[in-house]
Each structure stands twice: as C-alpha cells, then as structure tokens.
Structure 1
Amino acid sequence: MPVTVRVLTPKERLVKFGITMLCSMACLGAIMLVVLGITIAQPAVVRMRTHQATCTVNGSHFDGENPERPSRFSCSCSLGRYDVCISTYECLVISVTFRTEEGEQRTADLVESEEDLGNECAIAPCSRDHEKNDEMVEEYRELWGRVGQTYPCWYDPGNPSGAARTHFKSSTSEVFHALFWPALVMVVFSVAFCFAYLRFTRYIESTLPMTESNNPWSRFQDEPEEPGDENPSQPSSRPKLVFENFA
C-alpha cells in the first residue's frame, strides 16, 4: 500500500487540536452523565418513590453471635486531605413495624436516611476514635430504639426490608437537570466532532497529489490483454495517510 506523508501546516494543526478538544468534551459529558446519574438522579428517584408511615419500635440489639461482645464493623475515616484511617463501630439493629398505604403490616430494620435503605445497621459513625463511635451508637439507641416508641418514617414499596427515619424532598426537575445537561453536552460535542472530523479528512484528501489510486478515471483504463502480461496494472488502493506535525 502506498504511503503518502502529509505535513500539516500550523493552521491545520490548530484545526486538528480543536477536533481533539471536541472529542474530549464529548467524553467529559459522558463521564458527567454517569457520575450525576449515580450521585444525584438515582437517590432522587428513590426519595420520590418513598411513602410516609408511622413506625413502632419492636426492639433493638447489636449484631453478632454473642450479645455481650457484639461484632464490629470497619470503616474508612479521614485524617486530612490525603491521609485515611481505619475505624470500627458496633452495628445497631432497630426493628420497627409500620403499616403501608395498602394496609399491609411490615417489619423492617430502621436506618437513618433513605440513601441507607438496604443497610442492616441503623447508624454507621466513622470517627477515628472507635470509643466515640460507640458513644454515638448508644445515644442513637436511647433516642430512637426504645421499645414501643413511635415516630414518622419513610419506606420504599420496592424495598420492604428497610424504613428510613429522615426524608429529603426531591422533584422531577432535580432528576431532569442532573441528566439533561450532561447528555446535551455529550450529544452536541459528539455531533460536532463527527462533522469536523469528516470535513477535515476530506480536506486533507483533496490536497493529496493525484495518483492512480485516487484518480476517478483510473477504472476506465484498459485491462491487460493476456493473463500473463508482465506489466499488470497497479492495484487501485487508496494511499495511507500519515500526518506528521513538524514545528
């Protein structure tokens, strides 16, 4: 395959850089779409799906086989901008009962917020001092884990195993803005990149010297008269472009 070396001019190198930036912005929009979808849109959908109920505490206990020495859960705590530490806390389980809007009575594990639905522990403090974590767990048990205590809670109809003590309002506009703007950036810059790349490629091809491979009249040339012709026509393959950037 013939190779044609094409040296880009400073103006063409600038255009090539702009096309690269268009591709980068499209990739950035895709990354932001995934990040905002996980951190904002998905929790907002869960919050909009929850319903309010009245929870009654059935009892509370610490997770573990031995009640006198409950098992401890580990977590990553922060010591500053770059340093991290490992701490532990006791897993407090608060069992509550509530009645759904359909009249069904459910028993579930209480958690602090709707983002924690599905977790077993009611609270997960992660201070670097594990004794302080234990104190926070005990205080939470005294406030919200007394048998017979009632208070408002929120549940997800699709997740019957948990109930949240706190609720944060969300709307469809929050989900819309979290998904629409990064998707718009991704689509607009993707279309702009494809258009600019095709135009630039066609421009470069139009500036190449005319050869048999890119001559539109080459297909009308006569074929060899005999199969054993010593000078067969060259294959009509397009030249391979090699862009070299020289200062």
Structure 2
Amino acid sequence: MFLWTGSRSSQGTGHERRTIYQKIREYDLLDKRKRVTALKAGEDRAILLGLTMIVFSVMMYFLLGITMVRSYTDSVWTDESNCTVLNSSIVSEINCTYSCGSDCWKGSKYPCLQVFVSLNSSGKIFRLSHNEETHGLNPECFYVPKCRKDYTVARTIIMNISERLKSHQQFPCYYDPGERQDMVLLTRLYGQGAIFHSLFWPSCMLVGGTLIIAMVKLTQYLSILCEQINKIKR
C-alpha cells in the first residue's frame, strides 16, 4: 500500500514537472512570437519611412529640375565681371494693370528706369537689367515694380533704386560670354549657391531613405543567418 502510494506521488510530481516545463516553454514561445511580430512591424514601418523619403526626394528633384535647375542651365549670363554705371535715368512710363478685387482690373503706370554700364573686362557698353525675370517682363527697363494704384509709390521705389546705383559706381554683374545678349544682369535669379542649397536637402533625404532600407535589409539578412547557424549547431 505504501509502495503504491509512493509510486503515485512520484508519478504525479513528474507530471507536474512536465506540465510546468511545458507552460514555461509555451510562455517562451509566445514571448518569442511577440518579439518577432513587434520586430516585423518595426521593420515594415522603417521600410515604409525609407520609401516615403525616397519618393519625396524624387518629387523634389523633379520640381526643382523643371524650375530652378532649368532656369539656371538656360541662362546665358554665366560669366561674372565688374560693371561701372555710365547713365541711370527714367526714360518713359509703362502702362500696367493691377487687381482691384475679384474679376476687377484697373490700369496704372510705372516709370521705366534705363541703366547703361561699361563692362570692365571688355570696355563695352551694355544695358543693365535686374535679373532674368525682369529681362523677360520688359527688357527695356532695369526693374519692373509691382503695379500699384498709387503711381507715386512706384516712382519713389524706382528713384531710390536709381540713387543707389549711382552711389555704387562699380559692382559685380553677369554677362553673356558669347555676346548673344546686348545686356548684362545685376543678379542671377538662380545662382550656383541657390542651386546647391535647393538640391542639398533632397539629396540628404534620398541618402537617408536609402540607408534606412539598407540597414533593415542587412538586419533581416543577419537574423536569418543567425537562425541558420543555430540550427546547424543543434
């Protein structure tokens, strides 16, 4: 009787031990599955972030390419020199229109300031324009102000510009080395510095997105490699 009872108690203890071991193993497997699931979700988010950064950088490259970079490459005023002011005067008044509300336009005027300069590198005389945009709006005038209702405001702006040009007799300017244009520019709409700064951040975003995806893929590869090594050791 005693032996039978002892045998039952030992069998029960062994069964309990196996049950506890199975529960611990189940908890370990469940915890491992949770870690793998969380890691998989984190990797998916990281890859999505990297792809989003790459897409946005490509879109920014496209927008900058058709605006700033295209304007920079199409510009013929590529060489820089010094210019000396020879004459700065208002020659005429140009008609313009300004908005006075929804579907409402009224006429006004602005003074046309013509500036002639001597290019120090060649000694030739050219008409001076503010930038490529001004040249496209009105190549006869140095600066095209915003059309205003009050003409005196526009005239005051132009007179201030004329006085500043006269006070600075020499200043850097840009000219066409092929001499296809009979005018020079005071400033370029998009210079090398502007192009560099505009392309810097999209480039950083593209490199960052690529690195994020590469790091995730490398982590996945190393994880698979470790699992294969552990299976071989077992």
Q: TM-score, normalised by structure 1?
A: 0.45
Higher relative CO (Cα under 8 Å, sequence separation at least 6) belongs to 1
Determine which structure has the larger helix proportion and give its number.
2
